[in-house]
Structure 1
């Protein structure tokens, strides 16, 4: 069954194999779980608690990787292989001056990954001509520690090279049947940081829609019209109009969202308060949620009224407090698309 707005990627994306780099979104190293420290007592990981900004120190291995090319262009990478590390190391090649990729933030990134044992390229994202940067969340709730350590605490405009240990390229849920990871070399360009709320121009509200009030941080409070039956068809209003890219069909998007049950007026799910916006694919959600996103522009805030036929139907979603036939209301801040 599809979900309303998944706070974590679907089970089909959650894999123990670190090599699943090009799934949804581009780098599907989508398994949380902390790795154990190696015998060399590595520098603190960037996967600490919210608000922390810690990253691996440079070392002999990361300093030994030769990287040429300008930030934003695909790097030429060479090193003597096999390159082995017991704890992750990171060297900053170009120091940017923009906003920093702090814990829980979402960064627009261009990234290339190489097998440290052979020197062969494993995958890359955002470097090909016409290709947009990919969005990576600085959190081990979404990516293995090695990927997080490549971008955490990095200022926009920077290029880093990271030699991630095998331990930091696997997860706590990996099994013996999963392919054994090996160390990798990661070159990452941090382009920019995704805003935490919609930044578009305010639009006049539409009659018949719930009212939305926003806190200073952007978190919405939705009030359902008293004594009013919900419409029977899908309805969408734009409260803020962004000037960014148009969301295609299908798309990988990063959003803030809040879901309210029209019947009860209660919030049943939201990304607000969880420390980070949520990345997902439009084909992972109920139809009405996807339709509210597709064709809108990045930076927009939309409100969608989803009838049962575009949501959970007569079955509802009891685990979320959604009864059979309930109408749903979502406020969605569209922050990035890839």
Structure 2
């Protein structure tokens, strides 16, 4: 699998994870829309948070228009446009009397991450206002999904209605930061990290010394959450810099968009992957990645030298 990290949008690799339609359905931005209301028409059984059993009306066709229903209340702040939403879900295509399962994150064992405001319209609508712990069922007509063209590459045919059952696990706004007081590092051979403020790049001062040759991780804020395990989806804020000149190569705080990756699946540069696995949710980390552990196809696009060391400041917001 191709390594991925969160670089400026002009060179961002936000491709779908292998075998999952979760992000594929988040790529389309289709215009149009239908009125709400109506019956979702499907019967959903099972406890919220567990894999649901979904039954369609026998021989029935989907009604026109959008419909949604909340089957279990959630708690916490409602999802707002621009939030990163972590959710387990199943999705189906429904055309005439024919239905087919498209995706099931419960069986995969890893939830999906949805960047709201960048999804097909019906999925954006289903997630808007939902709270962590809530189960939402939505019937999305073609006009709010992939229309007359469909998306054959991911099993969606022309004119398909989509049905989602979504268990919202968490939502992170663009200003999310880990709680806790940041420690001051006294090591003169490591970067000095100043305050982190939403909407701006973090202040980081590089030392006038050669970078360490080995992977180096320092905890700036101690997290009291669970330990991140390989295979978990990690929601994070981050900043990436070049040790050589201190240039900021990417910053989610500055961009206003929380990012994610599945730890231990080569979706990050190897050094950062190693640093995340075993860290605690709620931590802020300083990670210095030597060239051998910072290889990625996008380095040349950022005009990085093969000898350049990468520096990351990462807030570990959640792991699922």
**TM-score range with shorter-chain normalisation?**
0.7 to 0.9
Moved more, 277-286 or 175-184: 175-184
Q: Secondary structure at the match of 2:288?
A: strand
Structure 2 residue aligned with 1:260, among 234, 241, 254?
A: 241
Shift of 1:238: 0.8
Task: Determine helix, strand or coil for the equivalent of 2:203.
Answer: strand
CA distance in 2, matches of 1:318, 1:76: 48
Shift of 1:174: 7.2
Equivalent residues of 1:10, 1:284 under 8 A apart: no
State the Cα distance separating 1:79 from its structure 2 match.
Answer: 3.5
Pairing 1:30-49 to 2, within 5 Å after superposition: 31-37=26-32, 41-43=33-35
Give the direction of change, closer, same or farther, for the CA distance of 1:173–1:77 in structure 2 (3 Å limit). closer
Shift of 1:222: 0.8
- In structure 2, the partner of 1:65 is 42
Query: Could you tell me which residue of structure 2 aligns to residue 231 of structure 1?
Result: 212
How much does 1:281 deviate?
Answer: 3.2
The alpha-carbon distance between structure 1 residues 161 and 249, as it changes in their structure 2 partners (threshold 3 A), is closer
Q: 1:206 and 1:167, CA in 2 relative to 1: closer, same or farther beyond 3 A? A: farther
Q: Tell me the TM-score normalized by structure 2.
A: 0.79
Distance 1:291 1:97, change over 3 A: closer
SS of aligned partner of 1:290: helix
Match of residue 306, structure 1, among 289, 301, 309: 289
Displacement of 1:289 in angstroms is: 1.8
- Residue 2 of structure 1 aligns with which residue? 3
Contact 1:256 1:277 in 2 (8 A): yes
Q: Shift in Å at residue 9 of structure 1? A: 4.8
Q: Distance in 2 between matches of 1:30 and 1:164?
A: 12
Residue 316 and residue 179 in structure 1: after superposition, are their counterparts in 2 closer, same or farther (change >3 A)?
Answer: closer
Q: Secondary structure at the match of 1:321?
A: coil
In the other structure, the counterpart of 2:132 is 156
Distance 1:318 1:288 in 2: 18
Cα RMSD over matched residues? 3.4
CA drift of 1:135 comes to 4.6
- Counterparts of 1:171 and 1:139 in 2: how far apart (Å)? 20
1:184 equivalenced with 2:195 (yes/no): no
- The equivalent of 1:327 in structure 2 is 309
1:124-203 matches, within 5 Å, as 124-126=104-106, 134-141=111-118, 143-170=119-146, 179-181=155-157, 182-194=160-172, 196-199=176-179, 202-203=182-183
TM-score under structure 1 length normalisation: 0.75
**Which consecutive unaligned segments of at least 5 residues does structure 2 have?**
none
Alpha-carbon separation, structure 1, partners of 2:106 and 2:182: 31
* Alpha-carbon shift at residue 287 of structure 1 (Å): 1.4
Distance 1:9 1:165, change over 3 A: farther
Distance 1:173 1:330 in 2: 42
Aligned to 2:223: 242
SS in structure 2 opposite 1:258? strand
Deviation at 1:232, TM superposition (A): 2.0
1:2/1:206 CA distance change after superposition, 3 Å: farther
Q: How many residues align?
A: 305
